[in-house]
Structure 1
Amino acid sequence: MAVTRIVANLRAENPARIADFYRRVFGLHLALDMGWITFLEGDSQQKVEMHAASQGGNGTDVPVISIGVDDLEGCEEAIRAAGAEIVYGPVKEEWGLRRFFFRDPAGNLVNVVDS
């Protein structure tokens, strides 16, 4: 048996609103909207990865999802412009990772990392 994908399901009272936020900030594409759930996709392929954690690092809460980007500063600007709150960082962690956390419009804690 081989795992072919792992999907993040973000809780949202208004899935279309959250989908629109992630489309604007991260350039994702709306693949399907069933009203109660929306499917967003990107253009890139990635390896299957899942983490289990007791904290988010440096004593932070565990984010519900981590998103790797190739322009951390540009992403931060887009997130702020979209009205989301940055709650940690940006910071270069002692283990070498550059990242920040934000809360999306539904309140989900999201980790954005320079990939």
Structure 2
Amino acid sequence: MRAMKISTNIPVDDVEAAKSFYTDFLGLSVEEFNMGWVARFTDPDSGAHVQLVTGDKTAPIDSALSVHADDVDAAYAEAQAAGYEIVYPLTTEEWGVRRFFVRAPDGTVLNVVHHRN
């Protein structure tokens, strides 16, 4: 698998209540998307970003990181072949991503995702 970008998923109770700290204080002024339960805020110059998450919409667990993969289907096959625990199967979501959740040996849950163009 090749990771194209990694986003930190920060658990929050309320995206709207939390966002001013990240947009004003940290300068992550570009709201790339906001679906109510997850939103990404980015610095327009550096590309630094975070995702705020209140709870995943479809997966049974929240992820600590979102790993944007070049080929999510191949990454899924690789994770299965390696015997890693799949905690959410490969799924094409209604909001336009294809993803799965895998648990790293240290227990960290990763959302391995590919956005359709």
- TM-score calculated relative to the size of structure 2: 0.55
Do residues 47 (structure 1) and 47 (structure 2) align?
A: yes
Matched, 1:92 2:92: yes
2:76 maps to a residue whose letter is E
Indicate how the Cα distance of structure 1 residues 57 and 114 shifts in structure 2: closer, same or farther if over 3 A, else same: same
Question: How far is the alpha carbon of 1:52 from its aligned partner?
Answer: 1.0
Shift of the alpha carbon at 1:105? 0.8
For the residue of structure 1 that corresponds to 2:49, the secondary structure is coil
TM-score w.r.t. structure 1 length?
A: 0.55
Give the direction of change, closer, same or farther, for the CA distance of 1:93–1:105 in structure 2 (3 Å limit).
Answer: same
Partner of 2:58: 58
C-alpha separation in 2, matches of 1:7 and 1:51:
7
Quote the offset at 1:65 in angstroms. 0.5
Q: What is the CA–CA distance in structure 1 between the aligned matches of 2:90 and 2:55, rounded to whole Å?
A: 18
Task: Give me the identity figure in percent.
Answer: 34
Secondary structure of the residue that 2:53 maps to in structure 1? Answer: coil
Moved over 6 A (4+): none
- When residues 84 and 91 of structure 1 are mapped into structure 2, their CA distance, relative to the original with a 3 A threshold, is same
CA distance in 2, matches of 1:96, 1:55: 18
